[in-house]
């Protein structure tokens, strides 16, 4: 069975002192949870947080360069994350695809570089509203997964976390229904099973998109939903911890 994870994607929020307070509050409240927590703050705060993180509260980057090293001003590499012992990194978030033009092949490079450096990618996939309305949401998600994981061996797949984040649910307050979310998660599991075999059951599949304390319990009770990737509700310790406490 896949392990349970609740990850907070803070995106570009929180000044240094606010971020430190929030991280401390999450650490304080995380003792009695029966899931792993991953906090993905702005990259500037990663090193400081990682130094004080503890078992079952890990940190992750929100992005990484597709390049290995060299003259790429403003970028940082997977190897640099490894040198700081950062265990996770989000890849392929829809905001990076739509606002920064990130392509499937760049996402594939990033995932390969991360795995080479023993960092677990939290790979995001999900369809737009238009794509769902014309009934191609499963094809879109399958295509994203196949392209992102191209060239990987079954032995590498076990280190990956996948987050299904329907674009129409991100930051909108509209959550996928439990039926919609479970249906897509089961489909993702099937795609992984067909391509990589039994290891598919070990891969945590997280739901993301307006997940909040009021709907987390119902979502996390679904057979193929192993946790969440939380945006807005991760910016307050109480709501984030309440979500992380939503496994039955």
Interface with ligand 13P by CB under 6 A: which residues? 9, 93, 165, 170-171, 208-211, 229-233
Min CB(182)–ligand 13P separation in Å: 18
Distance between CA atoms of 7 and 163, rounded to whole angstroms? 10
Min CB(198)–ligand 13P separation in Å: 28
Min CB(7)–ligand 13P separation in Å: 8
Our CB check for ligand 13P shows the closer of 109 and 165 to be 165
* Annotated active-site residue in 109, 137, 165, 185: 165
Active site residue 93: yes
Q: Which of 59, 63, 71, 165 is nearest to 111 (CA)?
A: 63
By CB atoms closer than 10 A (0-12, 13-18, 19+), residue 168 is buried
Active site residue 79: no
Our CB check for ligand 13P shows the closer of 97 and 189 to be 97
Ordered DSSP codes for 170-210: TTTS-PPPHHHHHHHHHHHHHHHHHHHGGGGGGS-EEEESS
Our CB check for ligand 13P shows the closer of 96 and 112 to be 96
Residues 6 or more apart from 239 whose CB is under 8 A from it?
212, 213, 233
The H-or-E segment that residue 123 falls in is: strand 120-125
Distance between CA atoms of 200 and 154, rounded to whole angstroms? 9
Our CB check for ligand 13P shows the closer of 29 and 232 to be 232
Helical H runs in the chain?
A: 16-29, 46-52, 78-83, 94-100, 104-116, 129-133, 137-148, 154-157, 178-196, 213-220, 237-244
Residues comprising the chain, all counted: 248
Closest residue to ligand 13P, judged by C-beta, is: 231
* Annotated active-site residue in 93, 102, 109, 185: 93
Min CB(68)–ligand 13P separation in Å: 26
Min CB(236)–ligand 13P separation in Å: 12
Our CB check for ligand 13P shows the closer of 8 and 196 to be 8
Q: Mind telling me the catalytic residues?
A: 93, 165
């Amino acid at each position: 069975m896949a392990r349970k994870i609740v990850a907070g994607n803070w995106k570009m929020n929180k000044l240094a002192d606010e971020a430190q307070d929030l991280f401390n509050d999450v650490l304080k409240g995380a003792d009695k949870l029966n899931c792993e927590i991953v906090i993905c703050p702005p990259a500037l705060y990663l090193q400081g947080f990682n130094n004080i993180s503890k078992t079952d509260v890990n940190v992750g980057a929100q992005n990484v360069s597709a390049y290995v090293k060299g003259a790429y001003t403003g970028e940082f590499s997977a190897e640099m994350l490894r040198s700081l012992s950062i265990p996770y990194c989000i890849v392929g978030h829809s905001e990076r695809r739509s606002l920064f033009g990130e392509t499937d092949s760049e996402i594939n490079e990033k995932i390969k570089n991360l795995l080479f450096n023993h960092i677990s990618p939290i790979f995001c996939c999900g369809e737009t509203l238009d794509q769902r309305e014309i009934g191609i949401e499963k094809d879109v998600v399958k295509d994203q997964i196949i392209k992102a994981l191209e060239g990987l061996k079954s032995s590498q797949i076990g280190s990956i976390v996948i987050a299904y984040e329907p674009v129409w649910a991100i930051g909108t307050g509209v959550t996928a229904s439990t039926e919609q979310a479970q249906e897509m998660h089961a489909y993702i599991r099937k795609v992984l099973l067909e391509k990589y075999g039994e290891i598919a059951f070990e891969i945590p599949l997280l739901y993301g998109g307006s997940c909040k304390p009021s709907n987390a319990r119902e979502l996390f009770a679904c057979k193929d939903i192993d946790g969440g990737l939380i945006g807005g509700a991760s910016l307050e310790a109480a709501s984030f911890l309440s979500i992380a406490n939503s496994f039955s």
